[in-house]
Amino acid sequence: MKNFTEDEMKKIYIARKEKLFDYMGEHGIGAVVFEDTEGRRTPAVRYFTGHPSDAIFIATSDGQSILLPWDENLAAKKSVDCKIISYTSYDRKNTKAVAGVLKSVKAKGKKKVELSPDTPYPLFLKYVDTLAENNWDVLCREKSTHDFVNELRAQKDEYEIECTKEAARVGDWIISEIERGIREGWLKKEMDVALLIESELRKQGCEKTGFDTLAAGPSRSWAIHAFPGYTDAPWPADGLSILDFGVVYEGYTSDTTLTVAKNLNEQQEKLVALVEKAAENALEFYKPGKSIKAAAEAANEVFAKAKRVMPHSLGHGIGLEIHEEPRVSTNVSGDQTFKPGMIATLEPGLYDPKLGGVRLENDVLITENGNEVITHSKIIRA
């Protein structure tokens, strides 16, 4: 991965916040509050400040970027281009902290402060009461600044792309270890492969898995997301075994699914062939300016001809969260298109209670001229 200098990182974070400030100015928003706390997680805090979790971030129309972290020592090491104010000095009360910070804000136009649409109604009322004395109009609505930020995060900058590629590289390396374990016979159970992933990703400098690993042998692979995620059951074994996992590097996750095919019957082979064909056909649409809906339709057409139906969307964006914009589905608007910088999964799958399931998932970066498949998941023949 490319090494970014301190000045380069600062410029990246400034560029992100400038887009936020511009939006606030255009819509007359004096301040925006992002709360990353238990029960109300948002990656926007990390996106704008670099601080990984448990903090309040306030952006104001007069250009202030204020971080109120629970762990000040961590914030001092991780945050970029923001003013750190002790959350403890406000008794670790979110409404008191926001009110204290906003007292010093010289808002342009009406004093409007925007909260996340996910803010619980009782908490919203507390903010209204607390901020009323300084004449702040508290907004909590759909189509908010927070929604704009979600759209903004869909197109990754250079640093985000590099981090995601590094996560993809580590994921690919783990897949190669899994193949070796299958060949040499020391991977025998679902639990074995799941714990291998947990161990190896940390050896490679990653933070965690992107989500709970899903390792399902032939007896459970018919489920889209097997429950529980993994057990002591055989993996792989005769039939279709699925493994869905992601690894996180500097906050950014990969997301891949491979299928292990072992001693398949004719009907199972047909499922595998259909999924591979759907992935091949849909990839042609993962290009700038191409319809997102058309990509999903291309995969569905392959299955429809075989009188099969895929019971989930074709893919989704990834980044600081495992599910981000864009959603790759036949249910999206026909005018939604892929844009350079987007990283989206391509994951066709079929599931049959008698035959088992097969899914093939890779992460695709949309480039200026086409696409780059940055992970290399596949159907493994055992």
Q: DSSP for 39-85, please give it.
A: TB--THHHHHH---SSEEEEEETTS-EEEEES-HHHHHHH--SSEE-
Fill in the amino acid letter for 322.
I
pLDDT category at 165 given cuts 50, 70, 90 is: very high
Average pLDDT (87-108) is 90
Sequence ranges of the domains in the chain: 6-152, 155-381
In this structure, are residues 277 and 301 in contact, taking their beta carbons and an 8 Å threshold?
Answer: no
Environment class of 344 (CB within 10 Å of its CB; exposed 0-12, middle 13-18, buried 19+): buried
pLDDT at 70 over 80: yes
Specify the higher pLDDT residue, 32 or 108.
32
What pLDDT, on a 0 to 100 scale, did the predictor assign at position 105?
Answer: 83
Query: Where would I find the H helices in the chain?
Result: 6-26, 44-49, 72-78, 94-102, 121-132, 145-154, 158-184, 190-203, 266-283, 292-305
User: Number of C-alpha atoms within 13 angstroms, CB side, residue 137?
Assistant: 9
> Is 6-152 in CATH node 3.40.350.10?
yes
Judge whether residue 108 has pLDDT over 70: no
Query: Sign (positive/negative) of CA torsion 374, 261, 228, 325?
Result: positive
Reported confidence tier of residue 278, pLDDT bands at 50, 70, 90: very high
Summarised one tens digit per residue, pLDDT across range 135-149 is 899 999 999 999 999
Q: At what angle do helices 158-184 and 6-26 cross, to 10 degrees?
A: 120
Per-residue pLDDT band at 1 (split at 50, 70, 90): confident
Tokens 């916040």 sit on residue: 17
292-346 pLDDT, tens digit per residue, is 999 999 999 999 999 999 999 999 999 999 999 999 999 999 999 999 999 999 9
- pTM score, whole prediction: 0.96
Among 3.20.20.100, 3.90.230.10, 3.40.190.10, 3.40.50.970, what is the CATH number of 155-381?
3.90.230.10
Residue-averaged pLDDT of the chain: 96
Q: Which residue has the tokens 């448990």?
A: 54
SS3 (DSSP) at 304: helix
**Continuous H helices in 185-265:** 190-203
The 8-class DSSP code of residue 323 comes to S
Whether the per-residue pLDDT at 234 is higher than 70: the answer is yes
